[in-house]
Amino acid sequence: MKGQHRRALALGAGLMVASLLLLMLGAAVGSTRFDDLFALRHDPVALQIVADIRLPRTLGAWLAGALLGLAGAVAQGLFRNPLADPYLLGSASGASLGVALVLTVFGLSPTSTQWAVRLGITGAAFVGAVLAVLLTLVLARGVAQTLRLLLAGVIVGVVLGAAKDLLTIASADIMQAIQGFMLGSTGLVGWGGCAVMAGLGALCVLLAWALAPVLDGLALGEATAASLGLPLGAMRAALVVVLALATGTAVAQTGLIAFVGLAAPHLVRSVVKTTHARLLLLSTAMGGLLLMAADLLARWLIAPQELPVGVLTAVLGGSYLLWLMHRRAARGER
């Protein structure tokens, strides 16, 4: 146990150090190259690019990834399924439908930098994600039965996704904007978005950490968890709130980012076996590091052009999971 504790501490420290290094690197990566970052104070335009665009974007990528990593760990523990991801309760489809409705009704552009427009699109995505989760809870008749909740989430995701597609077909002029949201991007995250994600992220981490014992109990089976005297109904509901809030906050700021929430807990568990209290914190840090690294790669690979970060995370995350499945199959693991 002491060895695993030390490994967990070492992993956490390593993730934070790597994140700080990538944050500094994020100030130097972009369509415009600055050879000497320390001389930026003499160039107001370059200083504004770094301070108002690159740094909040890089930090925002870490915060969004951290929220998805936390949500992924919560989802996998709640459903006792290593393939569960943050979008399992229909939040992704709800957010996409919310954005499509706003774009159709108001004719807004998702690339606009006006704060009112950004607030409207961000709010629509967040509200859509939360309402989708609430609809899932209504169809599942609460959180008492995990399987029913899982199936309701799948149904809600399919139906709302179809509604978004129909709306997009009916209003063809929003198709490119919706596609941009579906591919995911951190390019428009500013300091305001970072503040929102940091505040709600801290709340989600505290709630999830306090609820970690119920995830440990559920890992042993529902009967065992109930025998421990845990109020499973109320704690499941609280975990669903954490899952919805973390996912909705991230999606509202960056669009749909694939595989980060699914891969982060797997990477942590491949390094250290620990309780859910530590797993949640480590998955949060791992998710932040993954999305920050992917964002830097998206900016750098074909510079001065950019790749959609959601596409890059899907390719890298999917490749990792395929390799992990192949390795387990070679070892004869289930």
Closest of 56, 16, 41, 65 to residue 290, by C-alpha: 65
- Counting Cβ atoms within 10 Å, is residue 256 exposed (0-12), middle (13-18) or buried (19+)? buried
304 upstream amide cis, omega within 30 of 0? yes
Going by C-beta distance under 8 Å and a sequence separation of 6 or more, which residues neighbour residue 192? 115
Residues 265, 80 contacting (CB under 8 angstroms): no
pLDDT reported for residue 36: 47
Residue 50 gets which letter from DSSP?
I
DSSP-derived 3-state class of residue 268: helix
pLDDT tens series, the chain, 334 aa:
677 778 889 999 999 999 999 998 887 776 565 554 555 566 677 777 788 888 999 999 999 999 999 999 999 998 888 888 899 899 989 999 988 888 888 765 555 545 555 567 788 889 899 899 999 999 988 777 778 888 999 999 999 999 998 988 888 777 877 887 888 888 888 898 899 999 999 999 999 999 998 888 887 776 666 666 767 778 888 999 999 999 999 998 898 998 899 999 989 998 898 889 999 999 999 999 999 999 999 988 887 788 889 888 988 877 877 887 777 667 665 5
> Within 13 Å of residue 182, how many CA atoms lie on the same side as its CB?
14
Q: By the 8 A CB rule, do 208 and 86 touch?
A: no
**Residue 125 belongs to domain spanning:** 2-331
The residue whose two tokens read 């790597």 is: 18
Cβ atoms of 194 and 60 within 8 Å: the answer is: yes
Whether the CB-CB separation of 206 and 189 falls below 8 Å is answered with no
pTM, two decimals, is: 0.89
Sorted by sequence, the CB contacts under 8 Å of residue 181 that are 6+ apart come out as 96, 99, 110, 125, 255, 256
- The answer for 332, left when phi > 0, alpha when psi is -120 to 50, beta otherwise, is left
234: how many CB neighbours lie within 10 A of its CB? Answer: 12
CATH number at residue 148: 1.10.3470.10
Which single residue is written with the structure tokens 């568990």? Answer: 269
Residue 102 to residues 97, 142, 164, Cα–Cα distance (Å): 9, 29, 11
Give the integer Cα–Cα distance in Å for 23 and 26.
Answer: 5
DSSP state of 30: S
Distance CA 59, CA 191 (A): 9
Q: How many structural domains does the chain have?
A: 1
Place of tokens 């919805």: 244
